[in-house]
Each structure stands twice: as C-alpha cells, then as structure tokens.
Structure 1
C-alpha cells in the first residue's frame, strides 16, 4: 500500500524523505503537503515541488540566522538539504541534467551550513584515493576535544544516496550510542559520479581500505572496534569490502543484493531472461528493445536510467553484462569479521540476502523485518529506529569483548 502517492516508486521516495523526521532531516507537514502537490507520475513535477519546499526551508534558515536563532537555522538548513536531494532524484541519468547538478550542490551547501551549527560540527574530509579524493565527514561522539578512543562506524552508500544523506539515515543513531562516524561517497556515488565522473567498481575493498587508513590514523578512533555499515547497494559493497579489508571488527549488510546479476534477471520475463547471455538472437533483440522501452517510462525506467549512469555504461545490455562482476558468490569465506545481514520482507532488491548469511563462514546474524515489526520498504525505511535497535543490540555484544 502507498501512503500518499499512487505510484509505488514515487511514494517510496516520499517515505524516504519523510523517514528522516526523527534525525532532523524532515518535517511531516512539509513532506506530506509537497507529496500532495505531485498529482501525477511526472519527474518534472516532482522536481519542481520538492525544489520549492527546499527553497522555503532554506529561506527560513537564512531568516533565522539573521534573527540570531541558530537552532532554528540549523534545523531548517538540514531539512532543506534532504529536500534538495529528494528534488533531483528522478533527474538521474545521462546526459547529466544541469538541474540535478544544481540540486545536488545545494543539498551539500545547505547540509554543511546546518551541520556547522551542530553542538559538535563534523570535520569535512578529502580522503586520498587513486590520484583524487573522496568526499567524507567525520562526526565525533561526545564532547569536542575528547580524544578517548571510541568504536567507530564507517558508512558506505548505495546507488542514489549521498554522503550527506548518510547523516540522517545512519550517523545520528550511531552518535547517540557513543560511536564516532566516518561517512563517505565512493565511486559511482554522490559528487564522485556527478562532479568527477568516476563510476562504480565491484572491488569495494580497494575503495574502503583508503578510508580505513584515514580512520585508524585518528587518535579518537579505536582501531580494534571499527565497523563498516553498508545500506541498499552498500549491502553488497560492505561485505565485498570486508572480504579483502581485514581491519574491520564487524560488517553490516543492510538490504543489498547477494548477486547483482541474479537480482537483475529476476525482474525480467523468464522466457527472455533464459536467453542470456548467448541465446536466441531474435529473443535477445526483443529483450533489448523491451529494456530500452522501459527506460523511457518516468517511474518504471528510473532505476535502469540511474544504474547505467552510475556504472558508466551506455545501454541496458551492457549493464546486464557487467552485473556479473558484482557478486559475493565464491568470496564469502574471505569475510572474517562478524557480519549482520538484514532485509525487509517483500523487498526484491535484497530477496537473496539470506543466501549471503548461509554461505558466510564468519559469525553471522540475519534479520528479516516485516509487518510484525511494523516495518516496510527497502532499507526498513518506515522503521529505521527498529533497525537501529536490532543492529546496535547485536553490535554492542560483538564489540564488548574487544
């Protein structure tokens, strides 16, 4: 069931924006009224209405700053950041729309303006990576100047999130529990794909290791209690990283695919999917035309348009082929640290998440959230607090003996 919007995907993205109310990234009324103005499944209308809401929130922040009300300014800037991110979602694809660039830059600008007014503002990082830098933030738990080593979570993202969104989705919950947080965007994500044009890569261990280097060099980070949390497609990249980066004390795979190729073909009609990769040419041509047709649809084609962009490929069949590289099959035994794997019932992206747990040889925990938990949606989007409760109960136990 949808909450406000009739289209499943549009409604899911509305819920995603709304989900950050608790962590300071949204106001219920602002989100609901914005969604009510989106009267059809139209990415242009979506952009205009969320942009208008973002601009009003930013204007409120500016007015509060002028009035000397830093608390209200902080809150409004942070909400504006989430709304600017939300505005650009359905513009993702190639060629890159200038409005996507603008909304993405505004979401970063307003986030930093709001975060600077937090009791403990984050440190903005440029993480050295293969001749360039990856954008990141270090959020300190506890009082400024307290360098007592603490457990630290590294947050890695999915296909269409940003490092700023990770603050609302996961960082606040970690900070409240006394964990430091290092959040970053890697290849294919956020400004790394938008501004640097660097696409995804499957060997995420080579992305995370430079991030771990930065983390363990900090005196306030307990290098023996370092945790990697990945959500959405990060539910694949996090365990993939843990299979090659062994300085991690624990790993979390939240709602990711076990094998991307299997996930992709599961969405195709069986009679066509069975022709891959080298089957009947006529049937493969039918499949290619069907995928190209789907890409033109405002809602149903969004994920495919986005996927081609972040992977740096030009056509759907090329994406299907490269999906084979993104798999944990045959690498499960390389993950040494305790690993928490979860999904929400009914989420097709993480349908095979349990298989990862079944093949891991390290200590594991598998949780499937569902209606009994009052949780629905990809990445437990209607119940992030429930997810965090289960995760940190497990994680505190894992780290207790270290």
Structure 2
C-alpha cells in the first residue's frame, strides 16, 4: 500500500477509506490531497480536512443532482459518505464528541440521497428490537426472478451499514441476492445516537432480524445466509448458534476467542491465568501504559471502552471473556465458511473455530501472493467475493 501518512494510525484510517475506491466509494486523488494537508498526530486537523473534502464532494453531488444528472450525483454522494465517515474515526470515545455526531449525520444524509438515486432498490429499515429499533438498509436487485436468497450482514466494532454497502451489498446484488445490512447494539447509529452498547448474546440480536427477513415477499425463507466481518466473525457465529432458520454462515475472519487480546498486554502470569475471575482494579495498574501507543489507545481506550460502555481496561479484559463461541459452535448446524487471511492478527483464531464446528464446513485461506492478505481481505475483496459467493451459491442451491 502506498504510504500516505507517516502517522501509522492515520495511515490505517486512510487505507480504510481508499479500499472502497474499487467500488466507487473513494478516489485516490481526493484521499491523497486530503492526507497532504494533515500533520501527523493532528486529530483536529484530520477531522477538519476530511470534512472539507467531504463537503466539497457533496457540493459536486448536489450540483449534478439539481441538474438531473442522477449517475454523477449518486457517485459523488457515495464518496462524500466515505469521507465524512473517515473524518470522525479519530474522535471515537465517550462522552461522544459533538463533531462525531455531526459528521455521522452528514454521512447518513449523503448515503440516504445515494440510496434514493441508486440503480436498484435501496431502502432504510427499522427493525423492532427491545422497545426500540435497529437501523438497517434493504438492498435488492432491480429485476429478475423471485424468491431470492438473502444475505444478512453482521458488522464489527467500528463500521456501520453505510460502509458495509461496498463490502456486502455490492457483491450480493451482482449475484442476484437480496442483502439486509443491520447495525446492532454497539454499532453505527445504535451506539452513536441510541447509546446501545455491544453485547455477547448476538442470538438475541439476530432473531428479530431473521423475523424481519421472513416478512419480505421477495425472499426465499429457506435460503437465508449470514456473513459477519471483523468482530462480526465472532458475533455472527454466536448469533447463528441460536438461530436455526439460517441456511449458511460466513465468518470473516473466524474469531474464536476475543479475550486472547490479553496475551498482547503486559500482565503478570498469575493475573493472566486467573482471567476472567479477577477484580478489574487488579488489572488496571498494569494496563496504564497502553495509552502511550497511539494505535492501542485508539483501539482499546477510545474505541473498545466506548463500544462496550465500560470505564477501564481492566473491565474490558474481564468483559471479553463473555464473548465465547464454544457453545455456539457446537450448536451451529448450517454449512459454514471460515475465512483466514494471511497477516491478519484476528485470523490467527480461524483454525480453532473451524476445528470446533460440527456442521458441514469449509476453511478458505487468503494469501499475500494473491493480494488478499490483511484484515477482511480489504485489498482484494473481489477474490474474497469469488471464493465466498461461489460457495454460497452452491450451498443455497442445494436447499
């Protein structure tokens, strides 16, 4: 990957935005010029410059929109969506920064207009959940036979339904699938606006989502697939283990034991061995130095504590023990594909999940030689889609 910033955290955020360029979600020139205006470590500057780029591209979208140029307008709205989302990544944390809320609202506005101009049906949905609702988008092919198979996307720690459009909906629509994108507790608007924090019992979250799928007239109730990416590689298997109506599962990557993050942290052996039966206060003194590293500070201190609704890293390490898959893996009955990408730390656990499954299963390795290494195969999603959707086509055709 081309180096766009000498700041490792900013570089990772830039790569995340640029990865969407293959499907119209970004342009290299716009990303490069934006990064060129940002000094390493300048969080305020990052937010300011990405917001400026997003606003510029949004203005181009409105100009085409007002003149009736639907294709040009929707293309620019989609890129503006990406840039507004990029602008608030360094602002993660509790209490929620008002700049993050505003940027998210602008992101949602741009994506909403993109959806209205899309060449295929793309509609926001609200799925009833525990006295409120979960936000989502229903994406459907514009023509063809029905009923169709449906892919339900399960998000991870820091993505949202707008970002999942390029990773899940685009390849699904190309293959004639209906795709339902949903932000559960701890994700997207559920976290930012409703304050719903992440929870391990994803079977409770997935159940009303499947209930909603079964109300859709264009969907084949016997061909429901679920795909989780990033931390969704833990949440999706957990949910499917308690939802027998699912016909196929994809874990990208297979994430067996999220609590393994403790192995990378500076804990005494006796405390590590006693986890999770440890008072969080015992752990905190050993974790204070985590905030000294900008990447770990963002991942754990800013992001993880906010997503889980916790106060300390000690609480976080104890909390992660609740995200186990042993019981869920034993209960999964549908065919399951486990992805394992070279050079992705989370993929190190894919083999463990695969070995624990008792259902029809397949382990697919993505490699540096084919350009698909790294977290969630970001730089070659076409290869990922080929492997995964070919498998899904075959599995669901047998239903």
The equivalent residue for 1:227 is 225
The equivalent residue for 2:394 is 397
CA distance in 1, matches of 2:282, 2:330: 39
TM-score (norm 1): 0.93
**CA shift in 2, pair 1:7/1:346, >3 Å:** farther
CA contact (8 A) 2:153 2:181 kept: yes
CA contact (8 A) 2:240 2:328 kept: no
Q: CA deviation at 1:343?
A: 2.6
Which one is further off, 184-193 or 113-122? Answer: 113-122
CA distance in 2, matches of 1:147, 1:398: 19
Query: SS state of the match for residue 23, structure 2?
Result: coil
CA distance in 2, matches of 1:220, 1:301: 45
CA contact (8 A) 1:10 1:299 kept: no
Q: CA deviation at 1:274?
A: 4.5
1:65-110 CA-to-partner distances (Å, cap 9, x unmatched) read 2222221111111110111111111101111100111111111110
CA distance in 1, matches of 2:296, 2:35: 19
CA distance in 1, matches of 2:233, 2:43: 27
1:347-396 CA-to-partner distances (Å, cap 9, x unmatched) read 11232111100110011111221211112321111111111111111111
CA contact (8 A) 1:265 1:273 kept: no
Alignment of 1:197-208 (within 5 A): 197-208=195-206
The equivalent residue for 2:326 is 329
Unpaired runs of at least 5, structure 1: none
1:280-308 CA-to-partner distances (Å, cap 9, x unmatched) read xxxx9795235334236543300112111
The equivalent residue for 2:114 is 114
The equivalent residue for 1:149 is 147
Alignment of 1:159-170 (within 5 A): 159-170=157-168
Q: 1:367 aligns with which of 364, 369, 379?
A: 364
Query: SS state of the match for residue 352, structure 1?
Result: helix
CA contact (8 A) 1:120 1:140 kept: yes
RMSD: 2.0
Q: CA deviation at 1:58?
A: 0.6
The equivalent residue for 1:185 is 183
Q: 2:380 aligns with which of 379, 383, 389?
A: 383
Unpaired runs of at least 5, structure 2: none
Is 1:64–2:61 an aligned residue pair? no
CA distance in 1, matches of 2:212, 2:132: 15
Alignment of 1:203-214 (within 5 A): 203-214=201-212
Query: SS state of the match for residue 25, structure 1?
Result: coil
Is 1:133–2:133 an aligned residue pair? yes
Is 1:347–2:344 an aligned residue pair? yes
The equivalent residue for 2:237 is 239
The equivalent residue for 2:287 is 291
CA distance in 2, matches of 1:341, 1:273: 31
Which one is further off, 385-394 or 284-293? Answer: 284-293
CA distance in 2, matches of 1:28, 1:273: 46
CA distance in 2, matches of 1:196, 1:277: 36
**Count of aligned positions:** 395
CA contact (8 A) 1:171 1:181 kept: yes
Q: CA deviation at 1:9?
A: 3.4
**CA shift in 2, pair 1:245/1:112, >3 Å:** same
**CA shift in 2, pair 1:74/1:268, >3 Å:** same
Moved over 4 A (4+): 284-287
Query: SS state of the match for residue 37, structure 1?
Result: coil
Alignment of 1:262-341 (within 5 A): 262=260, 264-269=261-266, 272=268, 274-276=270-272, 278=274, 288-295=284-291, 297-304=293-300, 305-341=302-338
Q: CA deviation at 1:2?
A: 6.1
